[in-house]
Amino acid sequence: MTGDPRLPGVARVDELLTERLATALTAKDDNYRPRTEHLEPDGRPLFTNRLILETSPYLLQHAHNPVNWFAWGAEAFDRARAENKPVLLSVGYSTCHWCHVMERESFEDLEIARFINEHFIPIKVDREERPDVDDIYMRAVQMLTGRGGWPMTVALTPDREPFFGGTYFPPRDGARGARLGFLSILEELSERYAQDRESVIADARSLSSHIRASSAPARPGSVPGPRTLALAARQLAPRFDSRFGGFGGAPKFPQPSMLAFLARYHRRTGDPHAKRMVVATLEGMARGGMYDQVGGGFHRYSTDARWLVPHFEKMLYDNAQLAVAYLEGYQLTGDDEMARVAREILDHVAREMTDPRGGFYSATDADSDNPEGHSEEGWFFTWTPAEIGQVLDAASAQLVRTYYGVTEGGNFEGRNIFHVQRPTADVARDLGLAPGELRARLDSARQQLWLARATRPAPLRDDKIITAWNGLMISAFARGAFVLKNPGYARRAAEAARFVLSHVSDDNGRLLRVHAGGSGRHQAVLDDYAFMIGALLDLHEATSELPWLEQAKALQALQDRLFADQEHGGYFMTASDGEQLMVRDRPSWDGALPSGNSVSAMNLVRLAALTEDETYRERAERLFSTFAQGLSEAPSGANALLCALDYYLDRPIEIVLVRPDAQSADALLAPLRLAFVPNRALTVVLESELAEQARTVPWLEGKVAVAGMTTAYVCESGRCELPTSDPAVFARQLATVRSPMTPPPLGP
């Protein structure tokens, strides 16, 4: 195998490649720090592999491993075929804690690296850049082991078919209690491939056949009705943790799509238990250590059922969806604490996760350096009483220790994860303070602690800009701008949208997947189009600016051309002219992210409501029909799709505020900001612009500002309530549930 001549186990030297690698390393700026323990005395890396030519932060983390890594592509598989070797595929992402552990234990180990280089063609994939590749081989791992996760380790034939898979492996026999370590597993795989290749290939073909079969479309059915929504709610209710909120036990993940569905179910049915599940979960998460009580924003998930001890990475997609969840929680309850959490999430992202040009960064790491210079999970976010006392005066330090449950022994490896043990009002009463005064004092202390924390070595930030995740965060800022009456959030959303449309797209206006290292790359997948279309619709609703709606329609046309399954309905994950992988999947189940088809269904019904173009509604109906069987059998696995179905079945209301040019709409906007009315089409329009906007939004025609006053119209399929300029009357119109459901109650 050719590569850097110093890589262990590399037999041949490609002088041209060696020169390219050296040039790429030299081109790195002064801030570049090789992530490896193998260094020359002057700090230069001892080893450099092909990943130095990539832009992905995750791949660059591995650019100085002694493993002779390839990026995903034909070169690696051609080499595997030419050298009669299996492929070792390793998939992860830059802020994955156990990916870092496996890197330190195995990929930095010279003996293991030598064996890999001599017997395999090793490929590294950033799952966030190539979700299509990750999806296929994760399915293989789940079929082989019954579970999945990252780092993902898969052995492939040169024809890209998997024959072995798993997740994290300790380096050697006995490490972390494992019977077989990674080196022994590699030795067994290599020996089997060399001595029993026909059997290996037969197993790989059989597994690949099962993967293809799992992607075959089900027989379409009728568009599901309200009974499917009720069935989903009944499936979710027994999983609810009534003590701490959330669903299931440890580890416990945020479930934004689930909360969104239950909130909508409560609105349609009035079921108090549906609301209780939403509110208790939002409150539990916000009080726990999974929420960064000092800096704002949520960590990835809780390792326990109490929301106390998280894995400390922060993902953009979690925080985008949770900001929306807390905005809806605020509308559902009127609780200012919900608004506070949403505001703190958005402010955290604006402050720490935003590129100067407008896009949003992907994530921050779980690990950071402690004072001894050793990488340690969570050290950046945790505190001792002494550290608090060094920052705050005695009274403020005691207040923080009381409110956030700080003890001398700590709750995480001798340190403290801040968490709120009791409601603010209860603590304020015990301290003899008004709740507002307690909150003001806490906010002042938190600001001082945040400034002190900022002097610590910060966790690694993954600064690639992913189109789909930016779409989610643009939606969050746009919706935050509207609900919280913050025009700065709308500007932030618009800047990010312009960045994506300008810099993460090609010359033909097609979206790309990521922007990293100064340029956009990789074909966009379905999620990128669907999430950006949703973002543009939210921007249109927040600003009433017509170009955002026009851009959403243009992207939807592109999505229909490139991704639509014309035969069966719905959308494929990859474009029709994309790389031909083992399968071309049509995702429908919602996990940490909603599926592209779920979001597309919502986009289509919203576009139909805004434009009165029945083509959009027909495509949505076909999509619901395509996935009807799965929705009927296990509806709670597709909660975002259920939200779109709820919109479709509810028949959205059309809300128009017509404003004379010289008047404000604030009085009528106030009840609208606080109303939980998710199934709607909304625009606020100047009277002088009515004619122009009505060409795109036909139901604006005939609306006028009555008696020269800002006037609200609430309509359904063209039938309107009496126009009003009275905020109280408007609030009552908004509160009316026009398509109620009366299923049996969920709770006791």
- 177-197 pLDDT tens trace: 889 999 999 999 999 999 999
Provide the greatest CA pair distance for the chain.
88
**CA 179, CA 80: separation in Å to the nearest integer?**
29
How far, in Å, CA of 745 to CA of 203, rounded? 49
Q: Tell me: the pLDDT tens digits for 431-445?
A: 888 999 999 999 999
Calpha distance 168→418 (Å, rounded): 30
Asked whether the predicted pLDDT for residue 1 surpasses 50, the reply is no
Q: Dump the DSSP string for 520-585.
A: EEEE--HHHHHHHHHHHHHHHHHH--HHHHHHHHHHHHHHHHHHB-TTTSSB-SS-TTS---S---
Query: How long is the chain?
Result: 748
Domain with CATH 1.10.10 in the chain: 367-458
Taking only the tens place, the pLDDT of each residue in 35-48 is 999 999 988 999 99
Please give the average per-residue pLDDT across 614-641, as a whole number.
Answer: 94
**pLDDT tier at 362 (50, 70, 90 boundaries)?**
very high
Strand pairing report for 121-126 and 87-92: parallel
Task: Flag whether pLDDT at 2 surpasses 60.
Answer: no
For 743, which DSSP code?
P
- Apex 537 CA angle, 532 and 540, nearest 5: 125
575-604 pLDDT, tens digit per residue, is 999 999 999 999 988 999 999 999 999 999
The span from the CA of 352 to the CA of 322, in Å, is: 17
Minimal CA–CA distance to 73: which of 58, 93, 53? 53
Whether residue 367 contacts residue 358, with contact meaning beta carbons closer than 8 Å, is answered with no
Tell me the one-letter amino acid at 514.
V
| Cα 570 from Cα 566, distance rounded (Å) | 8
Write out pLDDT tens, residues 318-349.
999 999 999 999 999 999 999 999 999 999 99
* Residue 12 pLDDT: 77
In which region does residue 587 sit, left (phi positive, over 0), alpha (psi from -120 to 50) or beta (all else)?
beta
Helix 226-236 to helix 639-650 angle (10° resolution) is 140
To which residue do tokens 């979001």 refer? 599
Which part of the chain is CATH 3.40.30.10? 2-214
Residue 374: how many CA atoms within 13 Å on its side-chain side? 3
Closest CA to 445 of 297, 294, 338: 294
Pick the CATH number of 2-214 from 3.60.20.10, 3.40.50.150, 2.40.37.10, 3.40.30.10: 3.40.30.10
Alpha-carbon 255 to chain mean position: 11
pLDDT on residue 5: 57
**Per-residue CA distances from 326 to 279, 300, 344, 425, 540 (Å):** 9, 16, 11, 20, 21
- Is the Cβ–Cβ distance between 526 and 600 less than 8 Å? yes
User: Is pLDDT of 235 > 90?
Assistant: yes
Higher pLDDT, 374 or 27: 27
**Could you report the per-residue pLDDT of 110-120, keeping only the tens digit for each?**
999 999 999 99
pLDDT reported for residue 572: 96
Cα angle 614, 619, 622; round to 5? 125
| Residue 169 per-residue DSSP state | -
Report how far residue 332's alpha carbon sits from residue 675's, in angstroms, rounded to the nearest whole number: 7
- DSSP-assigned letters across all residues of 686-729: EGGGHHHHHTTSGGGTT---GGGS-EEEEEETTEEPPPB--HHH
Helices (H), 292-356: 316-333, 336-352
Instruction: Return d(Cα 513, Cα 674) in angstroms, integer.
Output: 35
**Packing angle between helix 424-431 and helix 394-403, nearest 10 degrees?**
140
Mean pLDDT of the 632-654 span? 93
pLDDT bin (cut points 50, 70, 90) of residue 374 is: confident
Torsion sign over Cα 722, 724, 726, 730: positive
Q: Which element (helix H / strand E) includes 91?
A: strand 87-92
**Cβ(141)–Cβ(90) under 8 Å?**
no
Which pLDDT score, from 0 to 100, does residue 3 have?
47
Q: Please compute the mean of the pLDDT values over residues 476-501 and round it to a whole number.
A: 98
pLDDT category of residue 4 using cuts at 50, 70 and 90: low
> What percentage of the chain has pLDDT greater than the value 70?
99
- Block residue for tokens 């003590």: 243
Reduced to 3 states (helix: H, G, I; strand: E, B; else coil), residue 477 is: helix
Q: What are phi and psi of 645, to 5 degrees?
A: -65, -40
pLDDT in tens, 379-394: 999 999 999 999 999 9
Counting beta carbons within 10 angstroms of the beta carbon of residue 662, is it exposed (0 to 12), middle (13 to 18) or buried (19 or more)? exposed
Q: Which of 31-35, 653-657, 683-687 has the lowest mean pLDDT?
A: 31-35
Going by C-beta distance under 8 Å and a sequence separation of 6 or more, which residues neighbour residue 317? 468, 469, 472, 592, 593
State the DSSP string of 233-262.
HHHHGGGB-TTT-SBSSSSB---HHHHHHH
Q: Are 650 and 739 in contact (CB under 8 A)?
A: yes
Tokens of 312: 């400390």
C-alpha closest to that of 324 among 468, 465, 474, 467: 474
Per the rule left: phi > 0, alpha: psi between -120 and 50, beta: everything else, 83 is: alpha
Q: What is the pLDDT of residue 298?
A: 98
Tokens for 308, please give them: 């106390």
**Domain 367-458, CATH among 3.30.70, 1.10.10, 2.60.40, 1.20.1280:** 1.10.10
653-735 is classed in which CATH architecture? 3-Layer(aba) Sandwich (3.40)
Q: What is the 3-state secondary structure (H, E, C) of 483-538?
A: HCCCHHHHHHHHHHHHHHHHHCECCCCCEEEEEECCEEEEECCHHHHHHHHHHHHH
Nearest-angstrom CA–CA distance, 697 and 702? 12
Q: Give the C-alpha separation, 216 to 202, whole Å.
A: 21
Give the residue carrying structure tokens 């790989």.
204
Tokens describing residue 127: 């799952």
Name residue, tokens 């598989």: 77
Please state, as a whole number, how many other Cβ atoms lie within 10 Å of the Cβ of residue 694: 15
Instruction: Say what the pTM is.
Output: 0.96
Secondary structure letter of residue 50 according to DSSP = G
